[in-house]
Amino acid sequence: MKRRLYGLLSCFAACALAAAQPADLVTTHGRNFVHQGKVFRFVGVNIRGLSQYGKPVPLPYTSTGDIDTNINGAASMGVKVIRLFAPNSEYSTQDNIDRLRGVLDKMLLANMKAIVCMTDFYYNNYHPAGDDSFYTSQGGWQLLNDTWFKTGYTLNYLPWIRSVADQLKNHSAVFAWELGNELSDLQTQANIIPFARAAAAAIKAIDPHHMVTTGFLSIDHIQVGIDNGISLYSDPNIDFITVHTYNGQDPSANWNVASRVEKPLVVEEYGWSASSGDRVANTQAQVNKWYDTRLVSGFMQWGYQAGTYDIGDGDNDVGMDRYAHPDYNQLFSVYLTRANALAVNPPDPPPLGQPAGTNLARTAAGWQADSSLSSSFSPDRAIDGMLNTKWTSNGGAPPHWIALDLGAMKTINGFIIRMAGAGTEQVGYNFKSFVLQSGDSLSGSWNTITAPANPAQFAEFTTYTTPPINARCVRINVTQTGIDNYARLPEFEVYGAAGTNVADWSIY
């Protein structure tokens, strides 16, 4: 009887956990978001005060009708994600949660999701009640101070984020919880990492299903360096990387971190000032760059307002406000065109993990290259299992190549290419394109297996041969090296096992 009762209790517990999971989650899959089994990339907007419309503080000229106006306007532009700031220091935690729930309900009906920002670095009303004293003058701004990042966040902020996560953990309109807007400890930079880890863990302990992100402006802004940025974004409780960019800014440290962390990147705030040139042309160029070259998963316009009069929540300079910007309709077209393109036949998520088998390159019987910078950068340095050594070609114009003799016919399941960034060099040295080839000898002839493009210059690239191929020799032929003519390759890994010829094969 005890065994049967234990089984029933276990079933009830499992069912309860299953029921707690929201019905329509967006999750991460390597560098991609996944929604309903497909890769999910989106156009988004920022409507900072959306859940506060109709309250006299801080937006006295708003009404609850402005919520519908902006949600409907964004939806008609193809927007799938809205970022909003949830707290209001003038009202109780419960009031803020109730208002947030009401907005999420409306967004759910519009087939949209929210990035819910939990506080603001800059002094205004978008922080939990009780935190006013932690804002002090720094560089001419009233900003959250060092005391808050050390321990002060535990007093009001931590109970606030726990309450929000607990009450709304089952809401399907939540895209992600966000720690805060552009947080940075300007006095003791090292405090930002333990704070972020503790806050993310607190949310995930209550809501393990929805994603969590930082809301950081950039790695440069939090001033912790690339290695610490990689460590931070490798935290399992932080699901994707954020960057805020205006007038073409492109923080280099963020690019380095994003190239080496297997998580999605979202341009979470974007804007262009009319004083800096043609907003429409520049926005089109930035949309193309970030989606097509950097391969971001989301791009979000700052300061969006669909209404015909100023309610105090847009941005008359870098925003996209119908009442203030004569280029509103043109910007609308830029975003709608991209949103429509993203919605057409989204791909299946690619496989993850290491290809099956062992790294056959480690036991290669021989190797050749078109050139080597010196004996210290010879081809065998790319198959020694160490990221602090590398093969480097001479500085002649590409292509440059390295070929391996595996010693016998081998069944090959896939490759991992670990480029310069994987060895902590700058991301600009990573290959932009290369060709993987197979042959019967080091002298060729060579058959193309696959020719990957790497426009975002990710530091590591994995490709799978499905079904496997059979070859004795393999070659990587680098057609675009990066920012100069040198091909730098810390590791060329070939996965598989001894096998027989495969009559017919194709590449995933």
> Of 233-237, 251-255, 349-353, 399-403, where does mean pLDDT reach its minimum?
251-255
Examine the fold and report which residue of 308, 343, 378 is the final residue of a domain before the chain moves on: 343
490 assigned to some structural domain:
yes
Q: Which domain holds residue 220?
A: 21-343
What residues have CB less than 8 Å from 197, skipping those under 6 apart? 232, 235, 237, 238
The tens digit of pLDDT for each residue in 243-269 reads: 999 999 998 899 999 999 999 999 999
- Report whether pLDDT(492) > 80: yes
Same domain, 338 and 363: no
Residue 21's pLDDT band (cuts 50, 70, 90): confident
Same domain, 192 and 48: yes
How many Cβ atoms sit within 10 Å of the Cβ of residue 389? 18
> Token pair of 456, please?
């975002």
The CATH number of residue 43's host domain is 3.20.20.80
Task: Measure CA of the first residue to CA of the last residue in the chain; give whole Å.
Answer: 52
Same domain, 299 and 380: no
- State the pLDDT at residue 499: 56
CA distance 354 to 258: 20
Burial (CB count <10 Å: 0-12, 13-18, 19+), residue 435: middle
Q: Name the β-bridge partners of 448.
A: 437
DSSP state of 181: B
Same domain, 170 and 296: yes
- State the pLDDT at residue 3: 37
Q: Name the β-bridge partners of 120.
A: 181
pTM (two decimals): 0.92
- Report whether pLDDT(507) > 90: no
**Count: domains in the chain:** 2
15 assigned to some structural domain:
no
